Amino acid sequence: MSDDRSKRSKTGFRQDTTIEISTQFLRALSIDQAAKGAFDLLSAEKKREFNEWILEDKTPEGRARRATEALGKLRSGKQARE
């Protein structure tokens, strides 16, 4: 039997680590390898925060702007909501 305790929360339930990233953000990350490298090192929760911050904008233009902003934040080591 496999020991997956490291993937379980304190309540004993397995934590979901699957994150669906927005298409705009994936495109932006594919262009900027430095930002992608920084993103890949983030925890699942921090990745989710970046994605949610981008998707919170109501317009497609705003989401595209936030995706571009996120690249700069990742390169400089900032959090999504800084």
Residue 2 domain flag: no
Instruction: Give the pLDDT confidence of 39-75 residue by residue, as tens digits.
Output: 999 998 999 999 999 999 999 999 999 999 999 999 9
Report the 3 state secondary structure along 18-74: CCCCCHHHHHHHHHCHHHHHHHHHCCHHHHHHHHHHHHCCCCHHHHHHHHHHHHHHH
**With 80 as the cut, is the pLDDT of residue 29 above it?**
yes
> What residues make up the domain containing 82?
42-82
Q: Taking the model in full, what pTM does it have?
A: 0.71
How much is the pLDDT for 61? 93
Residue 26 domain flag: no
Residue 22 domain flag: no
Domain count for the chain, please give it.
Answer: 1
Residue 35 domain flag: no
